[in-house]
Amino acid sequence: MKHSGNPVKPSEAHALSGLSKADWTRGVPDEDSVAILAARFARLIKAPMVLFLQGDLGAGKTTFARAFIHALGFKGYVKSPSYGLLESYPVSGKTILHLDLYRIEDPEELDYLALRDLYDEKSVLMVEWPRKGVDHLPAPDLELEFGEDTETRFISSFAKSIVGFEFNREVLQDF
Ligand code: ADP
Ligand code: MG
């Protein structure tokens, strides 16, 4: 699968070792704060990019994806792709591919989605439960972790490629 930041070339290994310098965590106490963060993503995102959305059931992955797709300008309803596995949104010159692998039992089920054909230079791929698709997904640029501590819900972002690192840095500058 074609992808700008991956697989990692040996010459990039040094740069990748510093990727964590741009990682960040943000408290998101309510859905309004998720919408603000998602709007920032919508403003800064450049295709192609792959985002893995990790965290327990109910942690806020779909809420973030929905807010992001709306912030890009999509007017319709953004449903959770839990049943259909994949939803696709053509918006603002990009194609947002929203994938939810919660219900798959075998990563090979992913091959029937023809993701290989759908994912191109205009794509932003967002994947909930990416670990269920091991070896059948393009490598991520960012891993977003959705969680909750005693105080509040939070979203953390971990860069996994140089593209993801640059993106995280821009998001940080905007805080
Ligand atoms: P996931 O996709 O991770 O299973 P959802 O995005 O469906 O989780 O969110 C589950 C519930 O939590 C929804 O009812 C949603 O409205 C709520 N929720 C999500 N994020 C937040 C937040 N930051 N603050 C308050 N409620 C939230
Ligand atoms: Mg979900």
Q: Is the CB of 37 under 6 A from ligand 1?
A: no
61 sits in the region (left: phi over 0; alpha: psi -120 to 50; else beta) called alpha
Q: What is the pTM of this model?
A: 0.91
Tell me: pLDDT of 68 over 90.
Answer: yes
pLDDT given for residue 74 in this prediction:
96
Measure CA of the first residue to CA of the last residue in the chain; give whole Å: 33
Q: Does 95 score more than 90 pLDDT?
A: yes
Task: Give the ligand 1 atom nearest the CA of 155.
Answer: 23
Helix or strand or coil: residue 164?
helix
Reading the block at residue 107, the tokens are 């990563």
CB of 63 sitting under 6 A from ligand 1:
yes
Q: Please report the atom of ligand 1 found closest to the CA of residue 57.
A: 4
Q: Which ligand 1 atom sits closest to the C-alpha of 63?
A: 6
Residue with the larger pLDDT of the pair 42 and 116: 42
- For the chain, which residues make up each domain, given as ranges? 34-170
- Mutation test of ligand 1: which of 56, 61, 63, 99 has the most ligand atoms closer than 8 Å to its C-beta? 63
Among the listed residues 135, 105, 98, the one whose alpha carbon sits nearest the alpha carbon of residue 119: 98
CA of 67, nearest ligand number:
1
Quote the tokens at residue 143.
């891993």
pLDDT digits 0-9 by tens, 8-21: 666 666 667 789 99
- Structure-token match 């929203």, residue found: 98
**To 10 degrees, the CA torsion angle through 158, 145, 156, 36?**
120
Least confident of 3-7, 28-32, 87-91, 123-127: 3-7
Tell me what the pLDDT averaged over the chain comes to: 91
pLDDT of residue 83: 74
30-62 pLDDT per residue, tens: 999 999 999 999 999 999 999 999 999 999 999
Domain 34-170: CATH architecture, name and number where available: 3-Layer(aba) Sandwich (3.40)
Alpha helices by DSSP H, listed for the chain, are 13-16, 31-44, 61-71, 115-118, 162-174
Is the Cα torsion angle 31, 69, 131, 17 positive or negative in sign?
Answer: negative
